[in-house]
Amino acid sequence: MTGTLRVLGLGPGQADWITPEASRELAAASDIVGYQAYVSRLTVRSDQNVHASDNGDELARARHALELAAGGAQVAVVSGGDPGVFAMAAAVFEAIDHGPPGWRELDVAVLPGVTAMLAAAARLGAPLGADFCAINLSDNLKPWSVIEQRLALAVQADFIIALYNPASKARPEQVHKAFAVLRAAVSGDRVVAFAAAVGRKDESLHVTTLANADPGRADMRTLILIGSSGTRLVERSSGTPFVYSSRRWSGAER
């Protein structure tokens, strides 16, 4: 049988945020490759081989998946959220780019999924209604100076900013530095939302302002949204306010 490789995402948490296409390809897989935390979310059949890794070496994982597919396996590579957003799909193509010529001829496909930013935005209302960008705060694969520069330019351009990977046990300080960059650049009344474990049973949402935000509340399961000058709150008598960004440009920065 000719091997195939499908790169798919499990969504940010909730089971019904996995697309039917991804579920179908998971069921068809002979081999499932992924980071332990994601693979453990799956119900795997006894006839499926699971290759769970506990390290962050995405390229090694991608090469392993490609070797299995080249050997004739039906391989599913799993990520959380969407597989193309700060996840395995890029590693798969990087491995193909630098790998044996035969890997280019393999039947490889990326299946779109629900990324954390979209799930968090939906919970909050419509904060991504106007132009936005996403920045990964981890400096494992890029220098911190580049991240600070991107943050400064993104707020200057008045984008709504989604911050992925804001903090981890190994990187507790950077989110504080990131907020210092933002506070130096724009007024303190910017809307800031912390969306943690969205779609999981311990989900929490916290809406505040740039001036009042405590960056220390972010952990590796948190996505932070920084509003643009046009991001507004709709307060309610109870519960988290709705957050939205009008699609209409409101003029000068507040």
Binding site for ligand SAH (CB under 6 A): 12-13, 79-82, 85-87, 115-116, 120, 164-166, 195-200, 220-223
Q: Which two tokens stand for residue 218?
A: 């972010």
Distance CA 233, CA 191 (A): 8
Contact by Cβ (8 Å): 97, 203: no
User: Three-state SS for 132?
Assistant: strand
What minimum distance in Å lies between the beta carbon of 16 and ligand SAH? 14
Q: Kindly report the backbone phi and psi dihedral angles of residue 29, in degrees, each rounded to the nearest multiple of 5, phi listed first.
A: -75, 140
Contact by Cβ (8 Å): 13, 116: no
Nearest residue (CB) to ligand SAH, 35 versus 159: 35
Contact by Cβ (8 Å): 31, 53: no
What minimum distance in Å lies between the beta carbon of 201 and ligand SAH? 11
Nearest residue (CB) to ligand SAH, 30 versus 53: 53
- Which residue has the CB atom at the shortest distance from ligand SAH? 81
What minimum distance in Å lies between the beta carbon of 110 and ligand SAH? 12
Nearest residue (CB) to ligand SAH, 12 versus 125: 12
Nearest residue (CB) to ligand SAH, 69 versus 110: 110
Nearest to residue 29, comparing CAs of 14, 13, 45, 11? 45
What minimum distance in Å lies between the beta carbon of 90 and ligand SAH? 10
Q: Kindly report the backbone phi and psi dihedral angles of residue 164, in degrees, each rounded to the nearest multiple of 5, phi listed first.
A: -90, 155
Contact by Cβ (8 Å): 88, 18: no
What minimum distance in Å lies between the beta carbon of 33 and ligand SAH? 15
Nearest to residue 48, comparing CAs of 71, 79, 76, 67? 76
What minimum distance in Å lies between the beta carbon of 233 and ligand SAH? 20
Nearest residue (CB) to ligand SAH, 61 versus 221: 221
Nearest residue (CB) to ligand SAH, 78 versus 95: 78
Q: Which residues pair with 161 in a beta bridge?
A: 133, 226
Distance CA 118, CA 20 (A): 18
